[in-house]
Amino acid sequence: MLVYFPYDYIYPEQYSYMQELKRTLDAKGHGVLEMPSGTGKTISLLSLIVAYQRAYPLEVTKLIYCSRTVPEIEKVVEELRKLMEFYAKETGETNKLLALALSSRKNLCVHPEVSSLRFGKEVDGKCHSLTASYIRAQRHSNPSQPICHFFEILHANIVVYSYHYLLDPKIADLVSKELAKKSVVVFDEAHNIDNVCIDSMSVNLTRRTLDRSQANVETLQNTIQRIKEIDAAKLKEEYRRLVEGLKEANVARETDIYLSNPVLPDEILQEAVPGSIRTAEHFVGFMKRLLEYLKSRLRVQHVVQESSPQFLKDIYEKVCIDRKPLRFCAERLRSLLRTLEITDIADFSPITLISHFATLVSTYSKGFTIIIEPFEDKTPTIANPVLHFSCMDPSIAIKPVFERFQSVIITSGTLSPLDIYPRILDFRPVTMSSFTMTLARTCLCPLIVGRGNDQVAISSKFETREDFAVIRNYGNLLLELSGIVPDGIVAFFTSYIYMENIVASWYEQGILENIQRNKLIFIETPDAAETSMALEKYQEACENGRGAILLSVARGKVSEGIDFVHHYGRAVIMFGVPYVYTQSRILKARLEYLRDQFQIRENDFLTFDAMRHAAQCVGRAIRGKTDYGLMIFADKRYARADKRGKLPRWIQEHISDGSLNLTIDETVQLSKHFLRQMAQPFRREDQLGLSLLTLDQLQSEETLQRIAQIAQQV
Amino acid sequence: MDEEPERTKRWEGGYERTWEVLKEDESGSLKATVEDILFKDKRKRVFENYGQVRLGMMRHLFVVIDTSRTMEDQDLKPNRLTSTLKLMEYFVDEYFDQNPISQIGIIITKNKRAEKLTDLAGEFSPRRITAVWLLKHFSDSFCAGSSISHGWPRLKQSVSNRHMPGHTSREVLVIFSSLTTCDPSNIYDLIKTLKGLKIRVSVIGLSAEVRVCTILTRETGGTYHVILDETHFRELLTFHVKPPPASSSSECSLIRMGFPQHAIASVSDQDSKPSFSMSHLDNSSGPGLTLGGYYCPQCRAKYTELPVECKVCGLTLVSAPHLARSFHHLFPMDAFQEMPLEEFEGERFCEACQGELKDKSVFICSVCSSAFCVECDLFIHDTLHCCPSCIHSQSTS
């Protein structure tokens, strides 16, 4: 198979990655692939799959590329454009590929043509809000001809959009249901995919939500009243449709056009909407009763945890709501909103949320739990009741994706340990591989700092985290490093509270003042605007040579989506192991479920989760082969084999025995040495043949052997 | 010899892994690669000189030395400052040895301020010697100033205030120990100004790569290096001894130069009267009345040393050997050919030092095909500027 690769040189691991990818596609199975960030995952994926599409147009019809954030999607489109240009140049023919990127309206609606289109659709009343937005990254389609959005999705060869469009049942239904079976689905940056799945299936209800839905119901009622006076026929028409049932949908599913919506299981489609909620007034009354019931449930003084069947039984006893109408709640509401021609869906989001909750709770008896908490743990005196309806099984949301599409590729820079993903997502991959980075020079330097200069073990362990000596040693570590690391340092703490405590304590001890002599300090806060401001100033300080430290939190915004290339992050310090807050009831329920259903021990999962976040944090610093950075793990526990073994392979292989359990001054010495080595001039010629390959080199026997070692099968 | 009292005790100093330098390369490929790269660099310096390039031979160089708190760091022995001073002495000597008609000035930065120790001056000016001495003296008194250094504004001022003819190269060499700079205005504007003034800025970093220096040097066409250890530091300084290629935009002009005769007057001579040298008029420390000296061919002002710029008429006074010394940069020696030791036939002795050839490659002169070892190769190219065996054969024939 001939693969066009739009760059002159190729990294050996990219070649290896493509080989694995091809194997997966050949087998028509699913794959889990881990390759370090900055080694060109995206372009390898795109160039191989596009080549595959050209070679076997019947086997693979479509590529669905899911990424996490808007900038990432933009990057993908950019790479794709490069690839297309290269194709056009090499083959000399205008290519027939159509690529389409989807995102939210907010991001993309700058184009006058598009916005007018969107308006047209709103009038149309059919595609209410989510569908309307798109940009067209396609090259060949005739621009003068107005094309329907759905039509394009059906015919585009490459679709790029966010996870939610495929996973979130509420959106997926609108956007993704018509995608063909012979598609390849790629989830990029998928290390958090289980959480995305869970989030998309979980519902949190507060008193505020209920109050607002109450208002919604009233609006609905008024609108119905009004419509009735003006146009009673409309409501009748709806009624008739509902009697006929969702027959149409059923037909569609049988003919295999739709991606099955997990919210709407098969049985529902075969039945008509039950009589009790068929007329609009009855439905509104029904919703009122449901709301009242939920309100009464929120008036609790103690924490309640129950399963969905228990909840259903209770609701039946209290307000005589049956299971069946509950299941149709979401569908019925949508139909009503459509009939009433309400354009501003956003106003009705609380009531929509409630209806989703009702449908979910009555549909799934397993894998979900309901927890009602009268107050938050932090503030036990303030009543703030919350009803968590939380999904514990990520496989529920992703199951239709795995079932429907012939190949699903899950890939990211940090997926270790690989074997846990198939287990929690409940699928069987044909390939699971981890690739390392081939480097002409060792450009990353992971160090595990276990002790202070006074030999006191440092750790963010619960028992010792308040310990004065530990806090002081953490402070000293940062102080020393601020003196030797140029430009930017990013420090991650395990939580906001912990960061606040430590920083306050440093301030009292005068450590902060000393640090500020070397570098400026910026702090991430839960407020997004503040954080982006801090980030901007941080980058400015790195840029003009003043140097800066960014204190931020693992699992925060900074740790997930911001890259610290080159001088923006010469060192990353991870203070402590970022375990999740283990006392949370939702987490406890999930852990229990994992243990019962998938035989994953609590501790294994917690460690896995902590380590993937740690790896994610430290991985922020290295974004390519010319980049370099220190990775400092400041906790004694990282030295243990069970923690260390869960780091991605490309980090693990650089941790030598000599860099375990270091003291602070050993760390400083090693870092100094490392930074000086890295500052030596580094040219492209040095990389050639080692970590950069030309076509000739790629064909040599010796190189192929070396490449074979890069991938590690699990 | 008494120890400095405030020096920290050995065991209080930084933790060092001294054995790692000696370690044979077993596990990490890093050391070998980096050393390999360094070796290539060493050779590169020899190679770079080829071709007929216009060189800025009349150099005006300002050395900016960062004397912030980070200079107290003991990773160079005994500390960065002392080590730097020692190497600076070597550098200044070497600089004037190779560039007799050039000038050098020294600026130090500390405590967010820059001080000009000496203005641009030519060789053997007593002021230069004082400067180094001053710096040494100064080193005792410098201390915990804030670690922020910036010399730029001061430097800019002193460079631009001086009228400099277009044919000279204007250079700045910064010895940068700190990792931060603190500037009153936007540093990128300054970089633009420097670029506009065609001032070439090179930086030698003592600790790590700082982004702003990378940009500074890239924009102004200088070089940026970070030292590994003292030997590397010395090498990097040596690198700056050679004149850089002149930018094509610098004007070509003929320069008037005076070649004064050295008049030797004996006391017995009736006509001779002791007189003051013009260059010593403004400081009392220099020698007083002398008999002989160099007289400016234009205005008959007397100087005891050359080269110098005449204080009266502004003529550049040099002697022929000075020019000749600068001249060799224009006609550099051809690089020796590298050859693996196995392929080399003939006696395995270096033609120059007579030592046995042990390294993996030998270097062959392209003219007389004698073999040399790496060290001698470097010595010949850096210092002698002519192949000893070629000269030997010339004189015999």
Residue A686 counted as domain residue: no
Contact call for B14 and A441, based on CB within 8 A: no
Per-residue pLDDT reduced to its tens digit, A288-338 = 888 888 888 888 888 888 888 888 888 888 888 888 888 878 778 877 777
Q: Which of A545, A670, A679 sits opposite B226 (nearest CB)?
A: A679
- The count of structural domains within chain A is 4
Contacts of B226 in chain A (CB under 8 A): 676, 679-680
In chain B, whose CA is at the least distance from the CA of A542? B211
Per-residue pLDDT reduced to its tens digit, B6-27 = 445 555 555 555 555 444 444 4
Contacts of A440 in chain B (CB under 8 A): 33
Q: Which of A546, A656, A676 sits opposite B180 (nearest CB)?
A: A546
Q: Which of B17, B182, B209 sits opposite A546 (nearest CB)?
A: B182
Q: Distance between CA A223 and CA A229 in Å, rounded?
A: 10
Residue A540 counted as domain residue: yes
Contact call for A442 and B29, based on CB within 8 A: yes
Query: Do residues A162 and A145 share a domain?
Result: no
Q: What is the DSSP letter of A565?
A: -
Quote the radius of gyration of chain A (alpha carbons, Å).
Answer: 27
- The CA distance from B80 to the nearest CA of chain A, in Å, is 14
For residue A244, what pLDDT band results from cuts at 50, 70 and 90? low
A480 interface with B at CB cutoff 8 Å: no
In chain A, whose CA is at the least distance from the CA of B225? A680
With H, G, I as helix, E, B as strand and everything else as coil, classify residue B136: helix
* Tokens encoding A476: 């000293």
Contacts of A547 in chain B (CB under 8 A): 179-180
Q: What are phi and psi of A492, to 5 degrees?
A: -110, 135
In chain B, whose CA is at the least distance from the CA of A568? B211
A196-222 per-residue burial string, b: 16 or more CB within 10 A, e: under 16 = bbbbbbbbebebebbebbbebbeebbe
Q: Which of B38, B186, B208 sits opposite A486 (nearest CB)?
A: B208
Contact map slice: B 291-350 vs A, CB within 8 A: none
Helix (H) or strand (E) holding A449: strand A444-449
Contact call for B187 and A544, based on CB within 8 A: yes
- The CA distance from A685 to the nearest CA of chain B, in Å, is 11
Query: Do residues A130 and A169 share a domain?
Result: no
Query: Do residues A417 and A532 share a domain?
Result: no
Contact map slice: B 174-203 vs A, CB within 8 A: 179-183, 186-188
A454 interface with B at CB cutoff 8 Å: no
Q: Which of A545, A547, A680 sits opposite B34 (nearest CB)?
A: A680
pLDDT at B43: 57
Per-residue pLDDT reduced to its tens digit, A58-107 = 777 788 888 887 778 888 888 888 888 888 887 776 666 667 776 554 44
CB-based contacts of B174: which residues, under 8 Å, 6+ apart?
B63, B64, B66, B151, B201, B202, B203, B204, B213
Helix (H) or strand (E) holding A12: helix A12-27
Inter-residue contact A138 to A95 (CB < 8 Å)? no
B75 interface with A at CB cutoff 8 Å: yes
Mean local confidence (pLDDT), B137-162: 43
Q: Which of A518, A543, A670 sits opposite B211 (nearest CB)?
A: A543
Per-residue pLDDT reduced to its tens digit, B172-207 = 888 888 887 766 667 787 788 778 777 788 888 888
Query: Do residues A364 and A484 share a domain?
Result: no
Residue A195 counted as domain residue: no
Residue A2 counted as domain residue: no
Q: Which of A542, A665, A677 sits opposite B14 (nearest CB)?
A: A665
Query: Do residues A177 and A287 share a domain?
Result: no
Q: Distance between CA A45 and CA A76 in Å, rounded?
A: 10
Best A516, A518, A664, A686 member to test B by mutation, with max B CBs in 10 Å, is A518
Q: Distance between CA A45 and CA A89 in Å, rounded?
A: 20
Per-residue pLDDT reduced to its tens digit, A365-387 = 788 888 888 877 666 677 778 88
Q: Which of A542, A663, A668 sits opposite B211 (nearest CB)?
A: A542
Q: Which structural domain range is residue A136 located in?
A: 111-149
B209 interface with A at CB cutoff 8 Å: yes
Q: Distance between CA B315 and CA B256 in Å, rounded?
A: 7
Per-residue pLDDT reduced to its tens digit, B25-55 = 444 455 555 666 566 555 555 555 545 556 6
Look up the CATH number of the domain holding residue A100.
3.40.50.300
Residue A186 counted as domain residue: yes
pTM: 0.79
Query: Do residues A211 and A335 share a domain?
Result: yes
Q: Which of A545, A666, A673 sits opposite B180 (nearest CB)?
A: A545
Contact call for A484 and B205, based on CB within 8 A: no
pLDDT at B253: 65
CA angle B380, B383, B387 (to 5 degrees): 30
pLDDT at A500: 92
Residue A397 counted as domain residue: no
Best A476, A546, A674, A687 member to test B by mutation, with max B CBs in 10 Å, is A546
A675-684 per-residue burial string, b: 16 or more CB within 10 A, e: under 16 = bbbbbbebee
Q: Which one of A327, A358, A392 terminates a domain?
A: A392
CB-based contacts of A51: which residues, under 8 Å, 6+ apart?
A1, A2, A3, A4
Contact call for A668 and B15, based on CB within 8 A: yes
Residue type, B144: A
Q: CA B334: distance to chain centroid? A: 23
Contact call for B14 and A487, based on CB within 8 A: no
Q: What is the DSSP letter of B158?
A: H
In chain A, whose CA is at the least distance from the CA of B28? A442
Query: Do residues A347 and A465 share a domain?
Result: no
For residue A142, what pLDDT band results from cuts at 50, 70 and 90? very low
Contact call for B207 and A672, based on CB within 8 A: yes
Query: Do residues A34 and A82 share a domain?
Result: yes
Mean local confidence (pLDDT), A493-503: 91
Contact call for B207 and A517, based on CB within 8 A: no
Percent of chain A with pLDDT over 70: 81
Contacts of A484 in chain B (CB under 8 A): 179, 207-208
Query: Do residues A181 and A207 share a domain?
Result: no
* Tokens encoding A368: 């979900």
Q: Which of B15, B226, B227 sits opposite A666 (nearest CB)?
A: B15
Report how many Cβ contacts below 8 Å link chain A to chain B.
104
Query: Do residues A651 and A530 share a domain?
Result: yes
Contacts of A670 in chain B (CB under 8 A): 17
For residue B219, what pLDDT band results from cuts at 50, 70 and 90? confident
Strand order in the sheet with B103-110: B113-121, B103-110, B59-66, B169-176, B199-205, B224-226
Query: Do residues A328 and A270 share a domain?
Result: yes
Which residue shows structure tokens 């204007």?
Answer: B170
In chain A, whose CA is at the least distance from the CA of B13? A665
HSE value, Cβ hemisphere, 13 Å, CA-based, for B43: 14
A668 interface with B at CB cutoff 8 Å: yes
With H, G, I as helix, E, B as strand and everything else as coil, classify residue B347: coil
Residue A3 counted as domain residue: no
pLDDT at A586: 84
- The least confident of A269-283, A633-647, B140-154 is B140-154
With H, G, I as helix, E, B as strand and everything else as coil, classify residue A363: helix
Q: Distance between CA A6 and CA A187 in Å, rounded?
A: 22
Query: Do residues A218 and A364 share a domain?
Result: yes
- The CA distance from A35 to the nearest CA of chain B, in Å, is 22
pLDDT at A631: 92
Residue A422 counted as domain residue: yes
